Amino acid sequence: MTQPARIGILTVSDRASAGIYEDISGKAIESTLNDYLTSPWQPVYRLVADEQDLIEDTLCQLVDDEGCCLVITTGGTGPARRDVTPEATEAVCDRMMPGFGELMRMESLKYVPTAILSRQTAGLRGSALILNLPGKPKAIRQCLDAVFPAIPYCIDLMEGPYLECNADIIKAFRPAS
Ligand SMILES: Nc1ncnc2c1ncn2[C@@H]1O[C@H](COP(=O)(O)OP(=O)(O)OP(=O)(O)O)[C@@H](O)[C@H]1O
Ligand SMILES: Nc1nc2c(c(=O)[nH]1)N[C@H]1C(S)=C(S)[C@@H](COP(=O)(O)O)O[C@H]1N2
pLDDT tens-place string over residues 135-177:
999 999 999 999 999 999 999 999 999 999 999 999 999 998 7
Q: What is the pTM of this model?
A: 0.98
Q: Cα of 21 to ligand 2 centre, how many Å? A: 17
Distance CA 33, CA 115 (A): 22
Backbone angles phi, psi at 24, to 5 degrees: -75, -35
Q: Is the CB of 77 under 6 A from ligand 1?
A: no
Q: Cα of 85 to ligand 2 centre, how many Å? A: 13
With beta carbons less than 8 A apart as the criterion, state whether 37 and 148 touch: no
Domains and CATH numbers, the chain: 5-157 (3.40.980.10)
Minimal-distance CA residue to ligand 2 atom 14: 78
Distance CA 17, CA 9 (A): 14
Question: What number is the ipTM of this complex?
Answer: 0.95
Minimal-distance CA residue to ligand 2 atom 9: 115
- Cα–Cα separations (whole angstroms), residue 140 to 9, 53, 56, 101, 150: 12, 24, 21, 13, 16
pLDDT in tens, 75-120: 999 999 999 999 999 999 999 999 999 999 999 999 999 999 999 9
